[in-house]
Amino acid sequence: MLRENDFANGPAQGTSPETKEERARRKALGIYYTPPDVAKVLARWVIQHPDEVVLEPSFGGCSMLSAAVDVFHALGNRSPSRQLYGFDIDEAAFLHLAEMGVDNSEARFRKADFLQCQADDLQVDAVLANPPFVSYHSQNEQQRQLTEKLRQKYFPKLPRLASLWAFFVLHSMSFLRPGGRMGFVLPIAIGTTDYGRVLLGHLATLFAKVELVHVGERVFAQAGTDERIALLLLSDYCPGGVETPQPAEVSYISRIAGEKDGNAVCLDHHLTTQATDVAAEATAKLDLMMEGGQLIELGSIASVRIGEVVGDIPFFVKTRSEWRALKISEKYLSPLLTRASQVSGLSARTDGVKGSQVTIPDLLLPPVNRTPKSIDSYLSLYAQEEIDTNRTFEKRSVWYRCSYDSTADAFIGSMNHEYPKVIGNDDGISCSNSFYKITLVDHKAYAAWLPMLSLSTPFRVSAEICGRVRGSGGFKLEPSDVKRLALPSTLPKLSKSDFKELRARVDKLLCQGELDAAGQIVDAVVYLRTRVVSASTMNALRANRMSLTARRLKKT
């Protein structure tokens, strides 16, 4: 059985420093070992009585199990080993068990995929878990087939793009006794994605209380990731359904506290204003402005589509000097925007910016009929096996021939950090699929304004509301989200010289990193001087935006 004194120390005390290879392996599997403070927080909340049975469906580095032993000891149970069960597919997890003196002769800890195991006679009082953080797009075909079966079995209304951890939550309930509790460490996607919100709504019908605690602290920083977490706390399981479902209670904390007493959640409860309230307030303001005719949605005047799917950017996209070294003629190259950092101002410039080392690279576009020897020689470097297994290449009539459409009026990144940067397409280029192409269907006058309008407060607020927050603090926009971004219904009437002067001034500030100053100028010219929005409304909306951005970036 367990040597409790060794188990309480956890694996970190006796293992060698982690190698880069090991870190990469765990990241690929979505494995982030639970830091001790987080494990203690969750274990103290989940375990409330000394005789309870606890399941850890992916015990990994054993921090959760170690914390569970500590809690049982505090409750007076000096030998809780027979009350702990676990599953894991990672061989390293069982090495951690062995290092801690676990006698697993009764097979309470199984080397098996939890999602493929049945509860049978195992019914537990509590589930304590940090499941793998594997997105739908990172799942292999076997995992997708398995999760689809579980989705149909437990909750067919769950969107198909749900990450792997969502199915750990659903499947864990089949092991849980009525009245039981579950505590999960999850990525913040649980509260920011469409499938996460749908899952929360479903859980509210099965548990008397659902709590979601967003943690600002990057607890997995030592594992080499910026992924931020939320603690999902589920109380009083009602398999027959809750009589009066209550929505999830959402709170926000800056960090996990050290030591506190009792069975309550051991957290730093210096909570800031809930982002849900700020978002609701900001949404109401924007809705009123839409109804009043001051604002329109971008989708009402423009189409939004994904950029070029290259298939292998490092191979097909290089700087002009790199292509020159490969003896590839410039006539077979076309500029392709691949990163927002390649543009410091309002628009993409293929001639670069004076004094800047950042330029927009070029996409190799071989001719359709006959390819020069230099290109043939370069293409021959690509392994046939990799060509055959590349899903992008197999969809093309010619595997190396990428599409290239330079007619978009502007670009916007699918992933954004500080603000939703719209980049003007003044030089008629294209972009990779890390961007969306914005093409105005009508109202062509907006084309020159779009990059500046993305600095405005209404635009940025709408992006904070629509965007799906990621662990690093950035947010993702789907094409449907981009279409909902807020624009003024009318544009200021400026002379050509006044507009040129305004654009140059805003561009200079943006290049100097003066984002807020640039945004305030745009607000003043577009909304305040035209009296489209009152100063008091704009100030309130700006305060909402600052609160939402600060919360997302965890600056408060």
Q: What is the pLDDT of residue 417?
A: 87
The answer to whether the CB of 196 falls within 8 A of the CB of 189 is yes
Those residues of the chain that have pLDDT short of 50 are: 1-18, 22, 24-30, 223, 258-276, 353-357, 556
Structure tokens at 118: 């049945």
Contact 465, 282 (CB under 8 A): yes
* Angle (CA) 466 469 472, round 5°: 150
Residue entry with tokens 């805003």:
506
* Closest listed residue to residue 336, CA positions, set 355, 313, 353, 356: 313
Residue count (the chain):
556
CB of 186 closer than 8 Å to CB of 199: no
CA distances from 512 to 338, 468, 545 (A): 22, 28, 22
Name every residue whose Cβ is closer than 8 Å to that of residue 26 and which is 6 or more positions away in sequence. 32, 33, 223
Residue 344: strand, helix, or coil: coil
Dist. CA 181–CA 272, nearest whole Å? 27
pLDDT at residue 8, rounded to an integer: 38
The dihedral region occupied by 336, where left means phi > 0, alpha psi between -120 and 50, and beta the remainder, is beta
pLDDT tens digit string along 288-318?
Answer: 899 889 999 999 999 999 999 999 999 999 9
List the one residue out of 456, 405, 452 whose CA is nearest residue 432: 405
Percentage of the chain exceeding pLDDT 90: 59
CA distance 352 to 335: 11
Identify whether the C-beta of residue 225 lies closer than 8 Å to the C-beta of residue 471: yes
The string of pLDDT tens digits covering residues 404-453 is 999 999 999 999 888 999 999 999 999 999 999 999 998 889 999 999 99
DSSP codes joined into one string, 276-332? HHHHHHHHHHHHHHHHTTSEEEGGGTEEEEE-B--S-HHHHEE-HHHHHHTT--GGG
Q: State the number of CA atoms in the 13 A half-sphere of 317 facing the CB.
A: 21
Does residue 387 contact residue 373 with C-beta atoms inside 8 Å?
Answer: no
Strands 410-413 and 435-440: antiparallel
The kind and range of the H/E element at 423 are: strand 422-424
End-to-end Cα spacing for the chain? 45
What domains can be seen in the chain, in order of their start residue? 4-11+28-271 (3.40.50.150), 284-307+407-553 (3.90.220)
Strand partners, 431: 337
The token pair at 383 is: 């392994």
Per-residue model confidence (pLDDT) at position 219: 62
The residues, ordered by sequence, that sit 6+ positions from 250 with a Cβ below 8 Å of its Cβ are 191, 211, 212, 213, 214, 274, 275, 276
Measured between alpha carbons, how far is 172 from 314 in angstroms, rounded to an integer?
42
CA dihedral (541, 481, 339, 423) positive or negative:
negative
**Residue ranges in 411-470 assigned as alpha helix (H):** 446-453, 457-466
How many CA atoms are closer than 13 Å to the CA of 520, on its beta-carbon side? 9
Give the whole-angstrom CA distance, residue 410 versus residue 421.
10
The SS3 assignment for 29 reads coil
